[in-house]
Amino acid sequence: MTLRRLIPLALTAGMAAALAAAGPAVASTAPIQLTFPAPAGPDQIGTVSLHLVQAGRPDPWVPGRTRELMISLTYPARHADRYPTAPYMEEGAWESLQQSDFSLGPALVPQTAAHEGAPVDRHPDGLPVILYSPPSGGDRTFDTALVQDLASRGYLVATVDHTYSDDEVEFPDGRVAQRVLPAHQTTQQLTDEVAERDKDMRFVLDELTAIDHGANPDAEHRKLPDGLRGAMNLNEVGMLGMSLGGATAAATMLDDSRIKAGIDLDGTLFGPVVTTGLNRPFMLLSAADHNRDNDPSWAQFWNASTGWKRDFQLLGSTHFSYFDAEVLVPQVVAASGLPAIIGTINPARAITIESAYVDAFFDQHLRHRPEHLLDGPSPRFPDMVFVP
């Protein structure tokens, strides 16, 4: 996967130069065992992967194929320690990633904190649902640290692989579908990509509704976790996306009123939502060099939006600070020679800050708990600038 593929068109010259300097990792001799931080919430977490096929919808990018997706559900779990932890990626997808420009050198696939197939820990009011869309050329696992934190605080998070837009999608039979879209795309091509991802997300939300009513849409009919039926609160659905996934979050909210609130993690926006805006809560979180002054799509969207809205900018960060590079890159820099492309902010602090703002946003708008963190500048987090 080329690193440039994760960046919207509105790159500043400084970021473009940094990416140009970032080549494939330099191999080291000893394998690195990568790890993830423990989720900060009180709940243990479980996970399950599903293979979904959208009958009647041809794949937009590969002729002759029906649209199929892989998704993962991550949720609060009970008796989680009785179940194995899930790897960050399946073996075939990890090998594909390691053979790309984004190779992490001789690193071993990390285990996550999520336990495969663990029973759902049902909450009295149901689990609010959050949809996650990854960067173009990314994978549904790319914000695992953030997703795990949300699940540990009582949310069910559905992360979605957009087949042929993502770099590698591994299916249950071991087949790995590779990205077919070009690394460099025009504005119209990116707009079309967002439109297809929007369709993916609305389909996934339909399937989650079916699951909550007792159906099992997995193409292989694999067993779903105990307690999943009826566990979701589908009246409280949010969406989160990074880079082009953030653009997808805004586009999907415009088209689907079931989504009550959304967050864009540093992604330039595309499509009708840029000029129509949204009438429901939406938050922009940006890197240090990205803002409404240098991204016309953000400025237009902001001015057109009539719903609750916030804009925050993380000092010392780059685009890469908003996905798991912030977790993984520091572990391999010394051994692999991968450039430190995650900015100057302390990685652990960046993760803490991002999680705090994402948690507060969804707590306020899906759980209806006022969160004063979002009201303006915070003395707790001076690195996160409130942009009026």
Q: Decide the pairing of beta strands 156-161 and 384-386.
A: unpaired
- For position 2, what pLDDT does the model report? 30
For residues 302 and 311, the answer to whether their CB atoms sit within 8 Å is: yes
pLDDT of residue 347: 87
CATH code reported for the domain at 3-386: 3.40.50.1820
- Residue 333's pLDDT is 72
pLDDT of residue 336: 52
Give the chain's radius of gyration (CA, Å): 19
Pair 240, 132: CB distance under 8 Å? yes
Instruction: Give every strand in the sheet of 127-133, ordered side by side.
Output: 85-87, 111-116, 44-58, 66-77, 156-161, 127-133, 232-242, 259-265, 282-286, 309-314, 384-386
Residue 357 CA to residue 312 CA, distance in Å, equals 9
Q: What is the pLDDT of residue 265?
A: 98
- Residue 7: what pLDDT? 37
Choose among 265, 241, 287, 285: nearest CA to 19: 287
Residue ranges in the chain whose pLDDT is less than 50 = 1-28, 338-339
pLDDT of residue 16: 30
3-state secondary structure the chain: CCHHHHCCCCCCHHHHHHHHHCCCCCCCCCCEECCCCCCCCCCEEEEEEEEEEEEEEECCCCCCCEEEEEEEEEEEECCHHHCCEEECCCHHHHHHHHCCCCCCCCEECCEEEEEECCCECCCCCCEEEEEEECCCCCCCCCCHHHHHHHHHCCCEEEEEECCCCCCEEECCCCCEEECCCCCCCCHHHHHHHHHHHHHHHHHHHHHHHHHHCCCCCCCCCCCCCCCCCCCEEEEEEEEEEECHHHHHHHHHHHHCCCEEEEEEECCCCCCCHHHHCCCCCEEEEECCCCCCCCCHHHHHHHHHCCCCEEEEEECCCCHHHHCCHHHHHHHHHHHHCCCCCCCCCCHHHHHHHHHHHHHHHHHHHHCCCCCHHHHCCCCCCCCEEECC
Alpha-carbon dihedral 334, 337, 338, 344, rounded to 10 degrees: 50
Contacts of 181 (CB under 8 A, 6+ apart): 61, 136, 137, 164, 165, 189, 193
Residue 111's pLDDT is 94
In this structure, are residues 243 and 264 in contact, taking their beta carbons and an 8 Å threshold?
no
The predicted structure's pLDDT at residue 6: 39
Q: What is the pLDDT of residues 3-38, one digit of tens each?
A: 333 333 332 222 233 333 344 444 445 788 889 999
Give the sign of the dihedral formed by CA 152, CA 251, CA 199, CA 126: positive
- Cα distance between residue 20 and residue 38, in whole Å: 33
What count of residues does the chain have?
A: 388
Contact 98, 107 (CB under 8 A): yes
User: Contact 340/333 with Cβ under 8 angstroms?
Assistant: yes
- For the chain, the domains span 3-386
Cβ-proximal residues to 9 (8 Å cutoff; 6+ apart), any chain: 187, 190, 268
